[in-house]
Each structure stands twice: as C-alpha cells, then as structure tokens.
Amino acid sequence: MSNQKQQKPTLTGQRFKTRKRDEKERFDPTQFQESIVQGLNQTGPDLEAVAKFLDASGAKLDYRRYAETLFDILVAGGMLAPGGTLSDDVTCTEFCLFKAQEDMETMQAYAQVFHKLIRRYKYLEKGFEEEIKKLLLFLKGFTESERNKLAMLTGILLANGSISSSILGSLFNENLVKEGVSACFAVKLFKSWLSEKDINSVAASLRKVGMDNRLMELFPANKRSCEHFSKYFTDAGLKEISDFARNQQSIGARKELQKELQEQMLRGDPLRDRFQRHTPIFTEI
C-alpha cells in the first residue's frame, strides 16, 4: 500500500471561478462611453487638455477593446449606429470633431489630438484606420458640414502619415459614387492634403497602395473619362490632381501598348502590321 501513488487533489473549482471573472468583464461600450464623455465634458474645448486626458485615461480604460467607441466619440460625440446616426439613449458630448469650427486651423488641432493618441498607444493604429474607412462609408448619413470637416481632417492625417491612402478605397462604394458624394468629398480631402504636402508626395502615397490608377472610380461608369475627371477637378481648383490622373492614364496606355506589341512579336506578326494596327494609339500618346 505504501508503494501505491496517492491520488493528488484536483482543483476542479478553479475553472468556474475563472469563468465568473471573465463574465464580469463582458463587452460594455456604454460604460466606457460614459467615462470618455464625462472626461471630454470636463476638459471642454481645450484640445491640449483633451490630449492629456486621453493620454492618462489609456492607463485606466480599455482602449484596445473599445477603440471603435473611442473614435466614434472623438469624431461624432457618441457611438454611431449603422448608417452614421448617433445611437439612441446614450450620453453624448458637444466637444468632438463634428461640433468644432469648420476651418483648417481647428482641423489641424484635432489631427494633433489623434496623432498624439496613436503615437502614445500604437495598438490603436489599425483600429483608427478601420474607423476612418467606416466613417467614409457613412458619409451619406452626415451633414455637409460634417463631411467637410471629416474630409479636411482625413487630408491632414494622410499628409502626416497617421493613416494610409488605402482608406480611400471606401470612397469607391457604389452608392457614394452614384450620388456624387465621393467626388465632392475627394475635392475637399485633396485640397487639405495639398495644403500640407506637394503633389509629388501625394502621388507617392497613392502609388504605394495602388490607388494612383483608381481615381477615375470616384465617378459613375458613364462619367468615368479622363476629360470629365480633368474638368471636374480643374474647375474645383485642383489642376495638380487633374494633371496627375491624365499622366497616369497615359502611362497605363503605353504599358498596354508595350504588352500588346510584345505579344505580337511572340506570335511573329509582320512588323508593318504591328505599327499599322497601333497608329491611332501612337498619335494619341
């Protein structure tokens, strides 16, 4: 009997205690929102104080879990329901982007708040980009003034590298394009971006994520021409964007021509036939 191993006691109750603890930490954005809104109401319109409050609150509140709620509040004053309207029965704040003055100086100050927050809490970077993509899809639910502020802010954030140009993909949403919302928003965005950086910097950023050849998609299919694009953006005071898009189209046409000529060479087509077939393209380019 002494040689038999005694059975060790098991901690069967420990598992249930863990589950109860996890249950208490259930997803509760409402309580998180109340904490953020209360802090913003106390700081008021002083954006330096707002930045300090957000910096300190990250040590006490779960920013990682409630990133979407945090950014909704900073932009719109409260949690957003699908479509872009504020959720019912939630506490909101007047101290947010959408309630701010519609001018570049104010938008630059707000951009600094977001920039400092993301620099302090790097894990918010991805969530912030996802938030901007979502907000762009909600554009129809916002007022014209709210769209303008969001466009100006987005342009500044693109200029200072806080977000990637890939967020522009949301503007190619069919409903936004069809109603002209995308093109109108893009004008404000590019004006803001070009007030901070030159066209070479903007072009490099667009090329980096493959957006340089997609700008025509800001318009419906029946208006998706170089002529329409050029006139629209030139009339809006953005000749740099117009020239850039035209140049991209010419580069694309040349690449297509080179590809087709290479295929004809591989097939062994006579040299004369190759040039006769593409004379109009050479003339156009």
Contact 137, 173 (CB under 8 A): yes
- Quick: pLDDT tens for 146-176: 999 999 999 999 999 999 999 999 999 999 9
Residues 6+ apart with CB under 8 A from 111: 153, 156, 157, 160, 162
pTM value?
A: 0.80
pLDDT attached to residue 24: 54
pLDDT attached to residue 141: 95
Kindly write down the DSSP assignment for every residue of 63-114, as one continuous string: TTTTHHHHHHHHHHSSPBPTTSPBPTT----S-SGGGS-SSHHHHHHHHHHH
Q: Domain limits of the chain?
A: 29-224
Contact 248, 230 (CB under 8 A): no
Between CA 47 and CA 52 the distance in angstroms is 9
Q: For residue 219, what are the CA distances in angstroms to 184, 225, 264?
A: 10, 9, 34
Residue predicted with more confidence, 8 or 75: 75
264-277: average pLDDT: 60
- Quick: pLDDT tens for 248-257: 775 554 555 5
Alpha-carbon radius of gyration of the chain? 26
Q: E strands along the chain, which residues?
A: none
Helix (H) or strand (E) holding 280: helix 279-284
